[in-house]
Amino acid sequence: MIVRPRGRADDASELLRIGLTAAALVLAFTSAGCGGERDPLAHSCGATDQKFLRTASADVTAFNELADQFRAGEVTPEEIAEEAFTAAKRVAHVEPRDPSLRQAQKYLDAMFTEYGEAVTLHAEGKTSGQRMFRAYGLANFARDVLAEAQPALQREGCDVAPLL
């Protein structure tokens, strides 16, 4: 083992080494969640998560029934468009904490909005296929996010099955 005499140059380099090591440890602990923050990708099932699931499930179920009535000619385009825009607002209003539910919320909000726009265009005699295509694509994205998160959310106490 080589023993170096202590001098000013070594003290400065030693302080620099200690400082860099301390900075690296602080960064490692805070990025690993040891800084008191929850892992932003961890699933949760708190009150707002459950409220979102209740709201979204009720809106999707009611909207599917209304869409069936629309296709059967029992509901006017204005009625279904208004309900789609209202459902988008309700879904966007709830603030889930779970990252997968937040992602699904964005997709559902956009899906309802696109569907409402498609029906409005259709009622005006304009081409609505592109908007309807987007609405169904967004619904599929929401479903994929929820299906992937379902096991973890189920372990936390949240049931996403009504949205699948």
* Span 40-69, pLDDT tens digits: 567 889 999 999 999 999 999 998 899 899
Asked whether residue 22 carries a pLDDT value surpassing 90, the answer given is no
Instruction: Return the DSSP state at 163.
Output: G
Q: Calculate ∠ Cα 37-43-47, nearest 5°.
A: 90
Asked whether residue 8 carries a pLDDT value surpassing 90, the answer given is no
Q: Assess contact for 50 and 154: CB atoms under 8 A.
A: no
Q: Buried (b) or exposed (e) across 37-59, using 16+ Cβ within 10 A?
A: eeeeeebbbeeebbebbebbeeb
* Span 110-163, pLDDT tens digits: 999 999 999 999 999 999 999 999 999 999 999 999 999 999 999 999 999 988
Asked whether residue 77 carries a pLDDT value surpassing 60, the answer given is yes
Tell me the Cα Rg of the chain.
26
Report phi then psi at 37, rounded to 5: -85, 145
Q: Residues for the chain: how many in total?
A: 164
Asked whether residue 96 carries a pLDDT value surpassing 50, the answer given is yes
